[in-house]
């Protein structure tokens, strides 16, 4: 399935729970074991979704970039790109709230209530006129979602039905208008 897409060589594996009674869960698993579950079977156009994923990793970063500290004066003692104080004398330890260097990025984030603009599959690919040129060559089914999602390209995302659906987001409608 993943090799058909043309983006990755190895698939991303993830486990997810099924809702319903034990019998309905077993029936679903027996019917779909070894088969491909299409996006169009699960999600419809103009529905809301939640997108979970990892953000882009930036590695080890200092406190100025990581927490947005302002640089100290150029004549300051013991460095400009660090906090002025790490805390009081007592308690005689540095708290976790003190801005210090550390890992930046690769955080799990959830983007709530994203609207599905289009569900593109093999059957309706020719019918949709306004597909962007960057998506014309994809060989598999895909979703076009309003806004942005976290992480670099090729990173696995978990798409679920919305946990906190809002009426305001559900009422919005979008169309593709491509200018050439």
What pLDDT is stored for residue 1 in this prediction? 59
Give CA–CA dist 4/139, Å, rounded. Answer: 6
Summarised one tens digit per residue, pLDDT across range 73-95 is: 999 999 999 999 999 999 999 99
Amino acid 9: pLDDT: 78
* Order of strands, sheet of 158-160, starting from the edge strand that comes earlier in the sequence: 142-145, 108-120, 48-54, 158-160
How many C-beta neighbours within 10 Å does residue 58 have?
12
The pair of structure tokens assigned to 25 is 């869960």
49 contacts: CB under 8 Å, gap ≥ 6: 43, 113, 114, 116, 143, 145, 159, 160, 161, 162
What is the pLDDT confidence band of residue 15, given thresholds at 50, 70 and 90?
confident
């Amino acid at each position: 399935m993943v090799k058909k897409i043309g983006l990755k060589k190895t698939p991303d594996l993830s486990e997810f729970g099924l809702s319903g009674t034990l019998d309905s869960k077993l029936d679903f698993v027996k019917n779909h074991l070894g088969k491909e579950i299409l996006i169009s079977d699960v999600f419809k156009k103009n529905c809301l979704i939640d997108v979970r994923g990892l953000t882009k990793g930036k590695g080890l970063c200092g406190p100025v970039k990581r927490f947005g500290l302002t640089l100290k004066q150029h004549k300051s003692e013991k460095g400009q790109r660090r906090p002025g104080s790490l805390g009081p004398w007592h308690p005689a330890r540095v708290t976790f709230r003190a801005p210090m260097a550390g890992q930046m990025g690769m955080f799990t984030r959830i983007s709530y209530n994203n609207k599905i603009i289009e569900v593109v599959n093999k059957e309706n690919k020719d019918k949709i006129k306004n597909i962007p040129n960057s998506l014309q060559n994809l060989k598999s089914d895909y979703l076009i979602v309003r806004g942005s999602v976290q992480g670099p390209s090729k990173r696995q995302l978990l798409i679920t039905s919305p946990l906190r659906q809002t009426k305001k987001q559900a009422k919005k409608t979008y169309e593709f208008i491509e200018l050439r």
